[in-house]
Amino acid sequence: MSTFRKSFLLIVISLTLLLSLTLLLTTHPAWAQRLARAAAGPSTAFTYQGRLIRSGAAVSDACNARFKLFDAETGGRQIGSTQTATIHPQAGLFTVQLNFGDSPFDGGSRWLDIAVKCSGDASWTAMGRTPITAAPYALYALKAAKTEGYANVITVAKSGGDYASIQAAIDTLDENTLCDNPVLVWVAPGTYTETVTLKPCLTLEGAGEELTTIVSRGSSSFSQATVMGSWGATVRDLYIYNVGDAPYAVALAIVSDPNGGFPPVTLEHVSIGADNWQEHGIKAVGIYLRDAALDLDDVVIDVAADDADATGLMLSDSVVHGRQLDVVARGDKGLAYGMHASGLSQFDVVGGEITTYNWQDNTRATAVAVTGPAWGSFANMKFSGGVGVQVEAQISNAGVELTHVDIISAGAAIQASGSQMAQLVLHECKLDSNTAQTLSLDGNHVFAKMRLTEINGDERTFDLKNGANVICLQVYNMDTLQLINCP
C-alpha cells in the first residue's frame, strides 16, 4: 500500500515496560457513532483501536484494560470515573468504546492513562499517559459538519455499530428514495473483507485512508470489483483494495450507467490499490469506468501486476473531472498504464503525478495513453515512465492538451500516430527523454502545437515522419529550434 494521507490522529506509544508490552493506539471521533434518537440525544462515546504486543508477539488472549482521564501528563487530578473493559485482540488488534461524558472536555488539556492486565499477569502493567487531542472536543461540531444534510446516518463497525458488514447496511436502503432522503454509511476503522455495491446518491465514508479498508480477492471480469459504484454516489476517506488470485484484480468499477446525464460518482480523499500476481493474469486496474462519469478530489491509485497488464485509471466512453490525482502503475511481463482513455471519453485533471514503469522493458510503461475518439487535458502535473504521452487515432480522432506538465521518460516523451486526426496541444511544458526520439510524430494526420520551456535530448530529439504537421513549435532553450511555423 502506498503512503497515504492521515485523516485522524495516530498516536504511537513505545515504552520499555515490565512485560515488554507495546501499545499502538488510534483514535477517531465519536461522530462515527450514529446520531442517537432525538429523544436520547447524541452519544458521547468514542472509540479507541489499538494493537497489543507482548515480547514481540501479537497478543490473542483476552485481557483487561483500564482507562483513566487526567488533567496533567504526570500527577494531576483524575477526571470522571475509571473505565474498564475486557478486550479480545485478534492478531493483537482490538477496539474498545470509551465514554467519559461531555463534561470532562471543557477546553482544558486531558491525558488518557492506560493499563492492561492479561492472562497470567499478577498485576496491571501501566502504559503511561497519552494526550487527548481535539477529536473528543470536536465531537458535536464534527457530527454536525459530517451529518448535515443526511436523513439518516448508519454506522458499520466490527463491534458496536449498527451493522458489522458494509453491504449488509447498504442492502437495507431503498435506492428509490436515497436521492430525496440521502443516507451516510460511516465505516469505523478496520479491514472489511467483502465486495460492496453502492446505490444511487449514497455516501460511503470511512475513518481515513489508513484506518478503514475494503478488500476483496480477485475479479472475474471488468464488471466485478471490490467496490461497484452507482451514479450520484460519494465515497471518501477510505482505502479500496483488490488483490487478484483471478484473471482480473479491479478495485473500483463504475459500469454501464443507464442514467446518462445524472450526477457522477464522487471520490474524495480515497486511496485505491490493485495487485495481480496470478500467472497468466489479464488485468490489474485501480478504477475502471465504462459509460460512466467520475469526479475526483485527492485520489491516490497504486497498481501492480506480473503477467497481467497494470492500469491505474481505465476509462471507456466515460467522463472524468478532478484535481490532485496521483497514480503509480508497475508491470513486469505485461503493459503498464497510468491512465488509458478510449472510446467517447473526455477528461480534465489538474494537479498530481503519474508514474509508470516496467521491470523488464520500461518502454512498455506509458503514463497516459489516449485512443480515439477520446480527448482530454492535464494541467500542473508530472508524468514519468517509459513513454510520457501516447496518442493513437487509428479509428477516429484523438487528442490531448497539456499545460505546465513535466514529462520525464525512458522512451519518447510524446508519441502520436494514426490514420485519423491526432492532436497535441502543449503550453509551457518540459520534455526530458533518455532516447533520441523525445518527440515522435508519425503520419500526415498528426497535428501539433507546442510551446515548450525545456527539452533535454540530443540532435535527433524530434522525429517527424510521413508528413506530420507541426503547426507551431516554440522552444525557449534550444538555439537551433526557436520557431517552426509559428504565426
Contact between 371 and 342 (Cβ < 8 Å): yes
Report helix, strand and coil shares of the chain as percent, to nearest 5.
5, 55, 40
The pLDDT value given to residue 333? 83
Band of pLDDT at residue 357, cut at 50, 70 and 90: confident
Q: Are residues 78 and 164 in the same domain?
A: no
Residues 234 and 149 in one domain: yes
Asked whether residue 258 carries a pLDDT value surpassing 70, the answer given is no
Return d(Cα 228, Cα 244) in angstroms, integer: 16
Which one of 92, 119, 139 terminates a domain? 139
CATH code at position 54: 2.60.40.1940
Is residue 416 within 8 A of residue 440, CB to CB? The reply is yes
- Residue 4 inside a domain? The answer is no
| Inside any domain, residue 3 | no
292 or 471, higher pLDDT: 292
Question: Residues in the chain, how many?
Answer: 487
Q: Is residue 268 part of a domain?
A: yes
| Same structural domain, 89 and 177 | no
**478, pLDDT greater than 60:** no
Q: What is the pLDDT, as a whole number, of residue 107?
A: 57
More confident residue, 377 or 410: 377
Of 20-29, 120-129, 453-462, which gets the smallest average pLDDT? 20-29
Domain boundary at 101, 121, 139, which?
139
Looking at the domain assignment, is residue 2 inside a domain?
Answer: no
More confident position, 329 or 119: 329
In a domain, 193, yes or no: yes
Q: What is the CATH number of the domain that holds 185?
A: 2.160.20.10
Q: Same domain, yes or no, for 191 and 229? A: yes
Question: Percent of the chain beyond pLDDT 70?
Answer: 79
Instruction: Check pLDDT > 90 for residue 468.
Output: no
pLDDT over threshold 60, residue 287: yes
- Residue in the structure block whose three cell numbers are 460512466: 292
Do 276 and 199 reside in the same domain of the chain?
yes
Name the residue range of residue 223's domain: 144-484
Q: Are residues 189 and 279 in the same domain?
A: yes
Report pLDDT for 485: 52
pLDDT in tens, 62-85: 899 999 999 888 888 998 889 999
Kindly report the average pLDDT of the chain as a whole number.
80
**Of 94-108, 345-359, 384-398, highest mean pLDDT:** 345-359
Does 92 have pLDDT greater than 50?
A: yes
pLDDT of residue 119: 84
Residue 46 counted as domain residue: yes
Which of 139, 154, 188 terminates a domain? The answer is 139
State whether 355 and 443 are in the same domain.
Answer: yes
- Integer Rg of the chain from CA: 26
Checking if the pLDDT of 167 tops 70, the result is yes
Q: How confident is the model at residue 40 (pLDDT cuts 50, 70, 90)?
A: very low
CA–CA gap between residue 180 and residue 192 (Å, rounded): 29
Total-model pTM: 0.71
Q: State residue 161's pLDDT score.
A: 83
Q: Is 242 a residue whose pLDDT tops 60?
A: yes
Q: Are residues 52 and 190 in the same domain?
A: no
CA 206/CA 186 separation, integer angstroms: 6
* Predicted local distance difference test score (pLDDT) of residue 251: 96
Domains: count for the chain: 2
193 and 62 assigned to the same domain: no
Residues 202 and 334 in one domain: yes
User: Looking at the predicted structure, is the pLDDT value of residue 170 above 60?
Assistant: yes
The number of beta carbons lying within 10 Å of the beta carbon of residue 107 is 6
244: pLDDT confidence band, cut at 50, 70 and 90? confident
Identify whether residues 196 and 64 lie together within a single domain: no
Would you say residue 276 lies in a domain?
yes
List the grid coordinates of 81: 470515573
| More confidently predicted of 5 and 398 | 398
pLDDT interval class at 261 (50, 70, 90) = low
Do residues 177 and 84 both lie within one domain? no
The answer as to whether 77 is a domain residue is yes
Give the integer Cα–Cα distance in Å for 487 and 233. Answer: 47
